[in-house]
Amino acid sequence: MKTLQIGNYLIPVPIIQGGMGVGISLSGMASAVANEGGVGVISSAGLGLIHRKLSKDYLEASIEGLKEELRKAREKTKGVIGVNVMVAMSNFADMVRTSIAEKADIIFSGAGLPLDMPGFLKGDSTTKLVPIVSSARAARIICEKWKSGYNYLPDAIVVEGPKAGGHLGFKDIQIDDEKFSLENLIPEVVAEVAHFEKLYEVSIPVIAAGGVYSGKDIHHMIGLGASGVQMGTRFVTTTECDASDAFKQSYINATIEDVEIIKSPVGMPGRAIHNSFLEKVKMGYKQPIRCPFKCIKTCDISSSPYCIINSLYNAFKGKMNSGYAFAGTNAYLASKIISMKETFQDIIREYGEVKN
């Protein structure tokens, strides 16, 4: 595999680990990926709940929790560590500022357009900024906005297709439409980005995400013009994943029919593994009486059947009857829990088999 370069960071294996919340990718998973030559990514979603012992205030606990996860990751690796910060989070600004102040190597940001993110950088900031988009148009808007407003261009761009796990940046009718497939999106975004690369004499690598599971998938995406890939689902069933064993087992037990599109309380479609909790939701089960954290800007408690952060936290802790697992379209392919080192060895072997 060809080395991926993002800013001044040379990434030996061109794999970025997707940021998975709540609690699925913390310092454990991120450091393990970084040690194998990829980019490890800490999800900032729900850190105020995971680290509530640090402060009774959710927003303060989120800040201190991110500092703690970055510190623990740095103790375990000398590799590249990033943070995923969703635009839709109510504490987006806090998480971006903290990531930059704590010198996270890269911030990845999607679930909305991070149009003002370069404005958080200081003169001595070293953190690279990578938006996550779902169309060439979104890539163009971000490049134009960042360049005109901050004289800054993305250090890379992640293009996430509709086969991803978790919340999707597509309408329901677009998810199975070939026009919006990752195979179509990658060449479109690469062509769009090439305009800015030529105009400003910079390099903006495009990263393919959403349904990328095997070395064969990586080979395919690089053939379409991507410089690397983002993978999440493949890393859930590793010993170093920060989720509970019950969460990991839900992947191993899943069939292809179990991986389904759900309607999320935050107003986006999402991909998850069907279970008894989601079955109850379909039957009209309603849980929330109040909003405990106001964690997502677009979540409306008056029409939400459940609190999404509590549900995802419950799943992270292994209480699958009170929550569910987000997962990419290929989650059903998982068959056993193995180490991150073994996982990377398998992926590289799969890639080599195609190349040869």
Half-sphere exposure of 39 (CA within 13 A, CB side): 32
Tokens 């849980």, located at residue? 287
Q: Is residue 328 very low, low, confident or very high in pLDDT (cuts 50, 70, 90)?
A: very high
The average pLDDT across 256-282 equals: 89
In a domain, 327, yes or no: no
Q: How far apart are CA 83 and CA 42, in angstroms?
A: 5
In a domain, 131, yes or no: yes
Whether residue 257 sits in one domain with residue 189: no
What type of residue is 332? Y
In a domain, 36, yes or no: yes
In a domain, 43, yes or no: yes
In a domain, 182, yes or no: yes
In a domain, 262, yes or no: yes
Phi–psi pair at 268, nearest 5 degrees: -115, 150
The average pLDDT across 76-86 equals: 96
Cβ atoms of residues 50 and 91 within 8 Å: no
Per the structure, the count of domains in the chain is: 2
pLDDT in the model for residue 43: 95
Q: Are strands 228-231 and 157-160 parallel, antiparallel or unpaired?
A: unpaired
Which of helix, strand or coil describes residue 152? coil
Whether residue 255 sits in one domain with residue 235: no
pLDDT in the model for residue 15: 98
Domain with 282, as residue range(s), is 245-322
Whether residue 254 sits in one domain with residue 143: no
Q: What is the CATH number of the domain that holds 142?
A: 3.20.20.70
Whether residue 106 sits in one domain with residue 71: yes
The average pLDDT across 149-157 equals: 97
Whether residue 279 sits in one domain with residue 227: no
In a domain, 328, yes or no: no
Q: How far apart are CA 261 and CA 337, in angstroms?
A: 25
Cite the beta strand spans of the chain per DSSP E.
4-6, 9-11, 15-17, 39-43, 80-84, 106-109, 128-133, 157-160, 166-167, 206-209, 228-231, 259-263, 269-273
